[in-house]
Amino acid sequence: MRSWREVAALTVASLLLQGGCRREPAGEGGGARGGTIEVRALLDEGRFEEVISRLGEAHDPESLCLLGRAWAGRARSAPVPTPPAGAGPEEAPLKTEEMRALGLLERAVAERPNLAEAHLAIAELLAPHALGRSKALRSGGTVTPVSPPAPDTSVERVLRSLSNAAEADPAGTAAAEALVEFATHAGRLKEADAAYQELIRRRREDPNLLVRYGDFLAGPRGDPEAALSQYSQALIWRPRDEGTRGKVAGIHLDAAAAALRAQGYALAEARLREAQRFATEANPEVFARLKELESRLREIRGR
């Protein structure tokens, strides 16, 4: 099982590579643009030292962003420094390379506030630290102030960077995806819920996303009745999806079982009728549970 650090880094990093901002193709006379494409290719291959050497002292926002990403990539291969005395068990200060990367990325967004890639790169850089800080505080650890003040590595900072990235790229979905994942891992369910809704608005007619949102509502969010609406919409696009049909039946069966325990037999019967519409032998566990609850209800009414 991956650690929270691996989850945070892989989640946001993979989404960053999907396109935190649009990459324009090189055209005729577009030497600088073509050079940017080559630099991006080096970044994608993990050749961070070459990117740093090639960009040198960057000045324009896009080059600052690419150089910041290169320093962040270099940081991932550098040794982890020893946490300061008194730090929480999962807290770790930013490495020297990470500090340099953050400075470059912050310069990029200061010069071009709508540079989604830079906002997303800041989130990628800070996400593991934010989750570690949050975990340390939840476990009773402390965050020791340092002098000079360290950069803000809070969960709120990462959420803000991801929100900025989403706003800067209103047609894209990478930042919204990253926001969903990070907010969920950070236990910020309200923000994750809002990000799911924004993602669905941007990626309409995607049954897989509707099912994912339903799973989130039924699981972490603790609202299975709201999940039914998302599953139902997904079934409009894939009416024979037995996996989703089984999820719908399962929610109705849970409600029927709860009604039986509370002696609400009419309600239990109604929820079993709903479950019958979705439970088939293609989902043997769900189908067997339906039959068991139906048998129990008949037994109670036959007494």
| Cβ(108)–Cβ(68) below 8 Å | yes
Q: Which of 16-20, 156-160, 161-165, 182-186 has the lowest mean pLDDT?
A: 16-20
Q: Where are the domains of the chain?
A: 1-172, 205-303
pLDDT per position as a tens digit, 231-254: 999 999 999 999 999 999 999 999
Instruction: Please calculate the CA angle 299-300-302 and round it to the nearest 5 degrees.
Output: 65
Domain 205-303 -> CATH class:
mainly alpha
The pLDDT of residue 93: 81
Mean pLDDT of the chain: 86
For the segment 104-113, the average pLDDT, to the nearest whole number, is 97
| Cβ(238)–Cβ(244) below 8 Å | yes
For the segment 262-281, the average pLDDT, to the nearest whole number, is 96
Q: Which residue has the higher pLDDT, 205 or 16?
A: 205
The pLDDT of residue 21: 43
The pLDDT of residue 79: 67
Going by C-beta distance under 8 Å and a sequence separation of 6 or more, which residues neighbour residue 18?
174, 177
- Cα–Cα distances in Å, from 275 out to 37, 148, 208? 54, 61, 22
pLDDT per position as a tens digit, 50-83: 999 999 888 899 999 999 999 999 998 876 656 5
Distance between CA atoms of 59 and 104, rounded to whole angstroms?
A: 10
Task: Write down the pTM of the prediction.
Answer: 0.81
The pLDDT of residue 149: 67
Structure tokens at 234: 């997904």
Place 48 in a pLDDT band, splitting at 50, 70 and 90.
Answer: very high
Place 302 in a pLDDT band, splitting at 50, 70 and 90.
Answer: confident
Task: Name which of 171, 88, 74, 177 is nearest 129 in CA terms.
Answer: 88
The pLDDT of residue 30: 40
SS (HEC) of the chain: CCCHHHHHHHHHHHHHHHHCCCCCCCCCCCHHHHHHHHHHHHHHCCCHHHHHHHHCCCCCHHHHHHHHHHHHHHHHCCCCCCCCCCCCCCCCCCCHHHHHHHHHHHHHHHHCCCCHHHHHHHHHHHHHHHHHHHHHHHCCCCCCCCCCCCCCCCHHHHHHHHHHHHHHCCCCCHHHHHHHHHHHHCCCHHHHHHHHHHHHHHCCCCHHHHHHHHHHHHCCCCCHHHHHHHHHHHHHHCCCCHHHHHHHHHHHHHHHHHHHHCCCHHHHHHHHHHHHCCCCCCCHHHHHHHHHHHHHHHHHHCC
The pLDDT of residue 123: 97
Tell me which amino acid residue 117 is.
Answer: E
The pLDDT of residue 170: 93
